[in-house]
Amino acid sequence: MLHRLPALFAIAVAVLFSAACGKKETPPPAGAKSAAARPGGMAAEQIWKVSNGTEPQDLDPQNVTGVPEHKLMMAFFEGLAAEDPKDLSPVPGLAERWEISADGKVYTFHLRENLKWSDGVPITVDGIIESYQRMLSPKMAAEYAYLIYNFVAGAKDFYEGRITDFAQVGFRKTGERTLQVTLRNATPYLIKIIASHYAWTPVPVHVIKKFGALDQKRTPWTRPGNFVTSGPFRLKEWLPNRRIVAARNPHYWDAQTVKLDEIHFLPTEDVATDERNFRTGQVHMTNTLPAAKIDVYRKENPESLRIDPYLGIYFFRCNVSRPPLNDKRVRRALALAIDRESLVTNVTRGDQIPAYGICYPGTAGYTPRARLQGSLEEAKRLLAEAGFPEGRGMPTIELLYNTSENHRTIAEAIQQMWRRNLGVNISLLNQEWKVYLDMQHSKNFTLQRGGWIADYLDPHVFYEIWETGSGNNDTNWSNAEYDQLLQQALAARNDPERYEIYQKMEAILVDDLPVLPIYYYTSVRAFSPKVKGYYPTLLDNHPYKHIWIEQ
Amino acid sequence: MFRFVTSRLLQSLLALFLVITATFFMIRFVPGGPFTAEKAVTPEILRNLEAHYGLDQPLWRQYLDYLGSLAQGDLGPSFKYPNRTVNEIIADKLPVSAELGALALALALFLGITLGTFAAVRRNTWVDYTASTFGMAGISIPTFVVGPLLVLAFAIHLGWFNASGWYGPTDRVLPVVVLGIAYAAPISRLTRGGMLEVLHQDFIRTARAKGASEFRIITRHALRGGLLPVVSYLGPAAAGILTGSFVIETIFQIPGIGREFVNSAFNRDYTLVLGTVILYAVLIMALNLVVDIVQAWMNPKVRLEA
């Protein structure tokens, strides 16, 4: 059971450090295609029905951004590198192997033999390079283009139109099946992005060009009948707002490993409807579970409650140029006066992990040493030193959050903790999602509920956002030493050296507190125990070819 | 009649123009835009996105461009769904909402008029009280309570239906019933009121004196006048019910236009907001016109005048 936090931690750590130690599930030999030939243990019908949150914007990996889209991309596309099903470490994907040069700046990918798109057309190096050209072309205006142009030599110049010849960008064909990628700087975690993020996934340019120019946005190439994929599944049916059916792709290089015949993605927006669908057996897995339902499942249906760790942090963002939060002592006093254990046990209830730092403990083998520590007495003393003994004279801080039941209850709980522990009063202001985001990005707030979900499995993901000028910092916090350390981390020769630099950065963050950490997320779902091969992973990515349904 | 219709059409066109203009500018002045996201896009990417959708042009220019393409029947691309145009989304989703709405409306009219008539004829008896209780309950219990309750009973416990979805004919039953009841309630109350008024008039007494049967009196004489309030209610109600119900479509996961109506505003999908607003405005205007004509036909006191 995952009821208690230590158990949760243990699992997270086990998953990270040793894939081999994970709970062994031995699926029957793969390759079974017809129901009659299914070996014992596997259900005759290998159709996995999952709830997927909302209708995807599109199925073009270069045209989408959200989580529901990501879940679909994992069915339809494979990157040069792919993810291990248990710990998500990069494993060979379309490329059977790769080499990284000694200075870390040149990656050479060797494609597998006989790679094919789902229409049987070969996947070529030229096609992959053209695919990156499309991703980086200004007319495509791909929202994740920066995940390439921040790293690859010449890519930013091309994206901003300073050069128009794509041959000057760092993608080079050096053999029939070799692709060489030259980077601006050594980027030690880049291979993790390539493995986990669809921004790097090649698209079938031979199909795309049938429907318009290479860099033309919004063509119908992703419609059923047109859509061509490289991953374990291809598109069988797409009924907008009803369902998307992915069926096995016979041309996938590893088709014999794929166990499911079909995946049905249901775009169920309403969480209550989602949970009712689970109860009628329309889905094997909900997208989430309302906090109020968690205890009901614990009591009545514990085998269907699934709580996995999730690489993300929930925090309150401070605007450090606005009084009273411009005073570090006030920020620290507030941070110390939050009873995180009580919050996760009594309010959020989904086995969330109290956060006393910024980076998730155990991210790719890295656990920060610095930790927010201090007594309530210290908090009171700091507040008095800042000129607000027992909260007297302190202007009322307004906490901004986006309209949602969960955020409201968390905000109210913390409001109460601060009133009781420090005598500090805050007011709550809720705003509709986009208004709230607009206020965040224009820094029109004093204190704001925020969160950060990792795109790839590396501690860097928690540190890059606090760089001066980062589009997601939004705190007005800027620290020259911190920025310098971030650059040093990118130049580090190996992970231990790099992680030591992150330790210093964590210490700065925990000391200066531009954000008040609250808890680390978990993903909470109703989940049918019949679904096997779905392991707890920190990014909530689950390579689908390993999943199967038990009888 | 001809003059009436032409003048109403001209008025409607002017109103429609005002609605489009007001919506166009109002949605632009709401904070946040279609590309406002939790993970902020970089300034370079935002520039390219805005250039792609013409959002880098001055607002008046965008407005004129929009009117220009609108005149050609083009509602523009959707911002949220780059793969689809607003025309496509409406063509895809309006039929679903219209099907749900038409079925629910038929159920509502049948239930509402029957109950309302019985209540009026058997005034102050248990029939009347039952019908009134139904009417009050139907009006005051919102669909987001009735819907999940019916799902709990018929889908989860009895297993007769899916909890949500829009695949086979059985998936229509629960949403149609929930939406139908919601509209049957006001219709039954309006029918009862209208019928009570008519049943006290002289021509009904005359009919009775002539020895017409009660059934004939109600169907041939009373209903025509008694349903007048229902008819004037039906104009806007039908426009609303046919363009979908956000709540019902969300509870039952129905791919209708009602959800787009609300979600497009949340997404700042400017063109989709305008598209759905125009659709709704046109429907309301058209149905109100139809209602006026029907009323003139039903009620000799009403004359169609320009």
pLDDT tens per residue, range A405-448: 899 999 999 999 999 999 999 999 999 999 999 999 999 999 99
Q: What is the pLDDT of residue A22?
A: 36
| Rounded average pLDDT over A135-157 | 93
Place of tokens 């009841």: B181
Chain B contact present for A223, CB below 8 A: yes
**Three-class DSSP labels, A177-240:** CEEEEEECCCCCCHHHHHHHCHHHCCCCHHHHHHHCCCCCCCCHHHCCCCCCCCCCEEEEEEEC
Would you call A441 an interface residue with chain B, using a CB distance cutoff of 8 Å?
yes
Mean pLDDT of B143-153: 93
- Picking from A57, A138, A142, the nearest residue to B80 by CB comes out as A57
Kindly determine whether residue B81 and residue A59, on different chains, have CB atoms separated by under 8 Å: no
Q: Residue A42 forms beta bridges with which residues?
A: A550
Cα–Cα distances in angstroms (integers) from residue B87 to residues A54, B246, B278, in the given order: 21, 20, 12
Q: In whole angstroms, give the CA distance from residue A87 to residue A364.
A: 9
CB A448 within 8 A of CB A400: yes
Q: What pLDDT does B236 receive?
A: 82
CB-CB under 8 Å, B45 with A143: yes
Give chain B's count of helices (H) and strands (E): 14, 0
In A, residues 147-176, which contact B (CB 8 Å cutoff)?
Answer: 159-160
**A339-388 pLDDT, tens per residue?**
999 999 999 999 999 999 999 999 999 999 999 999 999 999 999 999 99
Band of the pLDDT at A23, cuts 50, 70, 90? very low
Interface confidence, given as ipTM, is 0.89
**At B305, is the pLDDT very low, low, confident or very high (cuts 50, 70, 90)?**
low
DSSP notation for A10-44 = HHHHHHHH-GGGSPP--PPPS---SGGGPPTTB-S
- Tell me which of B172-176, B239-243, B299-303 is least confident: B299-303
Please report, as a single letter, which amino acid is at residue A246: A
The DSSP bridge partners found for residue B77 are B85
The whole-angstrom separation of Cα A167 and Cα A448 is: 45
Tens digits of residue pLDDT in B53-111:
999 999 999 999 999 999 999 999 999 998 899 999 999 999 999 999 999 999 999 99
What pLDDT is stored for residue A26 in this prediction?
42
- pLDDT at position A123 over 60: yes
Residue of B110, B126, B127, B109 whose CA lies nearest to B118: B127
Average pLDDT, chain A: 91
Q: State how far residue B94 is from chain A, nearest Cα, in angstroms.
A: 13
**Percent of chain B clearing pLDDT 70 (strictly above):** 99
For residue A312, report the phi and psi dihedrals to the nearest 5 degrees: -160, 155
What residue has token string 């794509």? A166
Confidence of residue A7 (pLDDT cuts 50, 70, 90): very low
pLDDT band of A474, cuts 50, 70, 90: very high
pLDDT at B244: 78
Q: What is the reported pLDDT for B240?
A: 83
Tell me what pLDDT residue A3 has. Answer: 43
Model pLDDT for residues B273-293, shown as the tens digit of each residue: 999 999 999 988 888 888 888
Residue among A220, A272, A277 whose CB faces B148 most closely: A272
pLDDT at A29 over 60: no
* pLDDT at A127 exceeding the cut of 80: yes
- Rounded to whole angstroms, the Cα distance separating B6 from B215 reads 40
Residue B231 pLDDT > 70, yes or no? yes
How far apart (Å, rounded) are the C-alpha atoms in residues A79 and A203? Answer: 10
Minimal C-alpha gap between B259 and chain A (Å): 10
Among A63, A139, A272, select the one facing B82 at the smallest CB separation.
A63
For B256-263, what is the mean pLDDT? Answer: 92
Residue A257 has pLDDT above 60, yes or no: yes
Highest-confidence segment of A202-211, B182-191, B289-298: A202-211
The pLDDT value given to residue A506: 97
pLDDT band at A38 (very low <50, low <70, confident <90, very high): low
Listed range (A311-315, A361-365, B235-239) with the worst mean pLDDT: B235-239
Looking at residue B208, what is its pLDDT? 84
Rounded to an integer, the average pLDDT of A450-469 is: 94
Of A220-234, A301-315, A374-388, B125-139, which gets the smallest average pLDDT? B125-139
The predicted structure's pLDDT at residue A302: 95
Interface test with A, best of B53, B83, B144 (most A CBs within 10 A): B83
The beta-carbon neighbor of A58 closest among B83, B159, B164 is B83
Contact B251 A139 (CB under 8 A): no
